[in-house]
Amino acid sequence: MATFELSHNDIKCIMIGASAGGLNAIKFILQQLDYISIPIVIIQHLSARQLDLIPDYFSEIDKINLLFVSDKMKIENNVYFAPPNFHLLVENENLFALNTDEKVNYSRPSIDVFMESAADVFEENLLAIVLTGANCDGTKGSVYVKKNKGHVIVQDPETAEFGYMPKSVIMHGKFDKILNLDEISKIIKLIQDGDKNE
């Protein structure tokens, strides 16, 4: 697969959307990183009872800050998880917001909701990544991101624990590249490390 040509200067926010099987995929990606210079926002479908499992599950990742978003939290250079039972939005380049509007794709947080909000704010400076999952969340969002000149990467469904969600984006959405987790990790790492090489 050809290299996806994005630089540190091109991207101001990286978002990762995942559902079933997502925690394993996200952990793999985060384990490759030792430096966060651009915020990474993770929209993972989680139930409230799974919330307490997150710190232990990601306990080996100690080089970067992993935070659950609270309302009006400032966007800094960390890895952020959307909290269960809330939609996560971007108010501006510096501020998150939460709401409890109706579920979208049976989900709250919804990947589509965040993608649309982030695309409005970051436009061509957004990189959206859709990983493993068992529903179609992220498909409409991918179209909106591309409409706003952002960038979309989809996990290769053949390599996903649950291929339905990335396959839905490929069949009905918009995207730039279909990549496996290793390729996705390398792109994120190159973008994060970009300012070290400038």
Q: Provide the token pair at 113.
A: 């909701």
Residue 196 pLDDT > 60: no
The matching CATH number, chosen from 3.20.20.140, 3.40.630.30, 3.40.50.180, 1.10.580.10, for 18-109+120-132+144-157+175-197 is 3.40.50.180
What is the residue whose two structure tokens read 């400038």?
198
The per-residue pLDDT for 195 is 55
> Could you confirm whether 34 is annotated as catalytic?
no
Residue 68 pLDDT > 50: yes
> Could you confirm whether 37 is annotated as catalytic?
no
For residue range 141-193, what is the model confidence (pLDDT) as tens digits?
Answer: 999 999 999 999 999 999 999 999 999 999 999 999 999 999 999 999 999 98
What is the residue whose two structure tokens read 């926010």?
13
The per-residue pLDDT for 6 is 82
> What percent of the chain stands above pLDDT 90?
82
pLDDT band at 2 (very low <50, low <70, confident <90, very high): very low
Give the pLDDT mean for 84-113: 96
> Could you confirm whether 59 is annotated as catalytic?
no
**Residue of 107, 117, 137, 168 marked active site:** 137
| Distances in whole angstroms, Cα of residue 29 to Cα of each of 42, 166, 189 | 11, 17, 9
Secondary structure class of 59 (helix, strand, coil)? coil
Q: Could you give the CA distance from residue 191 to residue 117 in angstroms, rounded to a whole number?
A: 22
| Distances in whole angstroms, Cα of residue 181 to Cα of each of 24, 84, 123, 186 | 11, 24, 24, 9
**Residue of 45, 151, 156, 176 marked active site:** 45
Residues 6+ apart with CB under 8 A from 159: 180, 181
Residue 61 pLDDT > 80: yes
pTM: 0.94
